[in-house]
Amino acid sequence: DTAVSQTPKYLVTQMGNDKSIKCEQNLGHDTMYWYKQDSKKFLKIMFSYNNKELIINETVPNRFSPKSPDKAHLNLHINSLELGDSAVYFCASSQAGGHAEAFFGQGTRLTVV
Amino acid sequence: AQTVTQSQPEMSVQEAETVTLSCTYDTSESDYYLFWYKQPPSRQMILVIRQEAYKQQNATENRFSVNFQKAAKSFSLKISDSQLGDAAMYFCAYRRRSGGGADGLTFGKGTHLIIQP
């Protein structure tokens, strides 16, 4: 069973479109995240979310919005896609306390053309 | 704000040899976690090893071990008996203990490890 799964794995879309990436975790974790990995492989957190609080990295454009229908899901919606949004997006989850490590999905490679 | 620095963009090692990847970090926190993650060409992020700052003993996982120097804010990864499957990007990451993980992980820029057969 996949612990953190995200769909789709690949997404090619035109500039200006709106798209969503879905993420689900079956680990019972209370915190979920979205990370962006740029073309130079640098990973940076975009959002973290638990059932109490959403923390947004201030550098993330407001075209990006996380949506959490329940504790096990955190989807990423992107409006008005731009060429610079092309990247790999990773969903992750962790449990507050415990061993603290984050478990990652397999990533979604987004290409904006 | 915390920062993580990996000063080696790329490292190369012969199969069966030992290699050490460097990582330094900066934080004002006293209690935190440090991690090494591996990212093979498949893109999956895989946890290699974890260290809790309050533990003086260096973490080990089979062929992987760390040298954690808290005062120097250094956290290097040693891979013994390198195998072809170890070829990957390796990321050092930091997370403070307080806040329950809300901050997420802060990553270094990664080291690309090449294994020469």
Interface test with B, best of A89, A101, A110 (most B CBs within 10 A): A101
Task: Give the sign of the dihedral formed by CA A71, CA A112, CA A80, CA A46.
Answer: positive
Q: Give A25-61 pLDDT, tens digit per residue.
A: 999 998 999 999 999 999 999 999 986 678 778 789 9
**Per-residue model confidence (pLDDT) at position A30:** 87
Tell me the C-alpha to C-alpha distance, in Å, between residue A92 and each of B10, B24, B59.
Answer: 26, 24, 23
User: Mind listing the pLDDT tens digit for each residue in B42-62?
Assistant: 999 999 999 999 988 999 999
Query: B8, exposed or middle or buried, with CB in 10 Å at 0-12, 13-18, 19+?
Result: middle
**pLDDT tens digit sequence for B8-44:** 999 999 999 999 999 999 999 999 999 999 999 999 9
A35 contact residues in B (CB cutoff 8 A): 104-105
* CB-CB under 8 Å, A50 with B102: yes
In whole angstroms, give the CA distance from residue A51 to residue A22.
17
Residue B100 gets which letter from DSSP? T
